Chains A and B, each alone.
Chain A
């Protein structure tokens, strides 16, 4: 990659001390919960990375580290070429908080219900000391127009409860963009919205992030959303990235048995299509005190002895993406083999 990535993380981990009192079965006392474990990736300027995986797999924890809301337990975080893993200086941190913005999942919680829209958008300008009084009003108008809330003046004095979910999510986006960030994290940006308006918000985000050359991370459990929005896709399972690469490769030619299962489970909008068989069993095991070897061993249809002994390393598959599975080599993958047997 020629250009410096905006985001580069190497071996990023976040471990929590697990309290276990709620679980009657436990006896061993406190354990370690590896919410995120040894995660590495880079996102070039203007690109977007989608992070998918089941609830609790560590998506939000990763995002929080990317926004420096969590200090990583280990690993490093380079932002725009600079190592900011241990950045603490107040001024620099403030500068980072301006450049890196978060878009919340629930627009109704993201905005103060007692603030008018104007006031909500003014807030970040004050915090980051941007513009004079007159300039600020102009910025706010511009920001609302940018997200297609036109005429902007009509929305200045409105309160959140007077607006629809789709409109509010546009305000939330406008508020993130008003400070001119270079990096945006959107955690389930449309999951609270109605289907008929989701597409509008997604298209808007797509156009704006392209036009502004924003580097973005989308977190969603909806793979079709990620396939629509992101150039790169990372699939997480119990704190680890198990497959990462170009969205086209990861979602059209998945190699990791977990990615394959996730994709098979997505219902198709075509009623005549036969549902694919989901081969995995059980549910996500507890992330506390994981066994040796592959985290997916107890659910995987292809587990062998080596999977219980050694943690699989990330390796490149012939389709381009990087996969952590002992059974995936450039010349071989289990799903293809199985399908051949079926035929």
Chain B
């Protein structure tokens, strides 16, 4: 059985314009010891999804349906007092812009002692020792535990946040954009820390990023989100090298690649739909060069397209043709809407 199993999860926000369906029927599973990358453009619901999973949504957000089975329990049904014990101990979230969430008026060690002593019930001496262990684990000098957050560089803060998330040895760590805004060398160091922890501690990891190269280098599986839905899911090498969904193909075209200097970048024109009033059919239709009649009325469901590989598109049976066409610049020229 999978450690984390999300079934048809729906998370809605109440807004002045109506209900915004930020996550609208999302399903996926992560096995013990594996890592899943969650990619998609800004606003597609990645952060909402992971905040929903650990139930730290903003006040106007609600779980409107579905279930989140984690280690045998449905987190959506769990009492708040119970889930508070699960957080940190069994699963931790490293939130987006986590770097700025260390309390600036206390030395960094205080954040560790709080978690280790209050939640982990460790004695002060044990907590200090554990904090030192954690710092060493992520490659930080233990002397720095006494420093204040502003005395850390961005990458050091990010590593401290990873160490904090690991404080009580959770089974699952969810990291929301852990390397965005970091320089490549620091990014490389942080990703290496995460990869090593996975290998050495058997950590299960869900990582949000908008950079498919980061996913390619760090994750086993990847889920591609678009406008509140997962539109493609599977092992990284399948999804990135044999993309089955036109949006995934488009993303691959949009990335500059150091090794392929001669190829032209192709953008996906247009922007994602309004989640308060999403289109009836395929949510990608307005930007998809391959849309057909059916795409406007009927929503494609996520179906199996091979070994643990899933995609949601009406034209999966013509995939070879689409894959070839997707590589041409002209295919993606402005689509009449």
- Which A residues form the contact surface with B (CB < 8 A)? 22-24, 54-55, 164-166, 194-203, 221-225, 227-228, 248, 251-252, 261-273, 275, 278, 280, 283-284
Contacts and interface: CB of A to CB of B under 8 A. Distances in A.
Given A228-B256, A283-B155, A199 B265 contact: yes
Given A55-B154, A275-B217, A269 B240 contact: yes
B129 interface: no
B254 A195 contact: yes
B84 to A, nearest CB: 35
Contacts of A251: 258
Which of A22, A55, A166 has the most CB atoms of chain B within a 10 A radius of its CB? Answer: A55
B267 A203 contact: yes
A199 B188 contact: no
B63 interface: no
A73 B183 CA distance: 28
Contacts of A283: 153, 155-156, 185-186
A223 B257 CA distance: 9
B268 A22 contact: no
B265 A203 contact: yes
The 3 A-B residue pairs with the shortest CB-CB distance in the complex, in nearest-first order: A200-B267, A199-B267, A199-B265
Contact of B267 (A196, A269, A271): A196
22 contacts: A54-B183, A55-B183, A195-B255, A198-B254, A199-B255, A200-B267, A203-B267, A223-B258, A224-B257, A227-B256, A248-B261, A262-B184, A263-B258, A265-B187, A266-B213, A267-B216, A267-B217, A268-B213, A271-B215, A271-B241, A280-B185, A283-B185
A261 B254 contact: no
Interface string B212-255: 11111110000000000000000011001100000000111111
Contact of B252 (A24, A165, A269): A269
B274 interface: no
B41 interface: yes
Contacts of B154: 55
Given A22-B151, A196-B267, A198-B267, 18 more contacts: A55-B154, A164-B271, A166-B271, A194-B42, A195-B41, A195-B211, A195-B251, A198-B265, A199-B265, A200-B267, A221-B183, A223-B184, A223-B258, A262-B185, A267-B188, A283-B155, A283-B185, A284-B153
B266 A267 contact: no
B250 A265 contact: no
B173 to A, nearest CB: 20
Contact of B266 (A23, A199, A224): A199
A269 B42 contact: no
Contact of B256 (A221, A225, A270, A275): A225
Nearest to A54: B183
A267 B211 contact: yes
Contacts of B211: 195, 267
A202 B253 CA distance: 13
A268 to B, nearest CB: 6
Nearest to B187: A265
A261 B250 contact: no
A141 B256 CA distance: 31
B187 A271 contact: no
Contacts of B241: 270-272
A202 B264 CA distance: 10
Contacts of B193: none
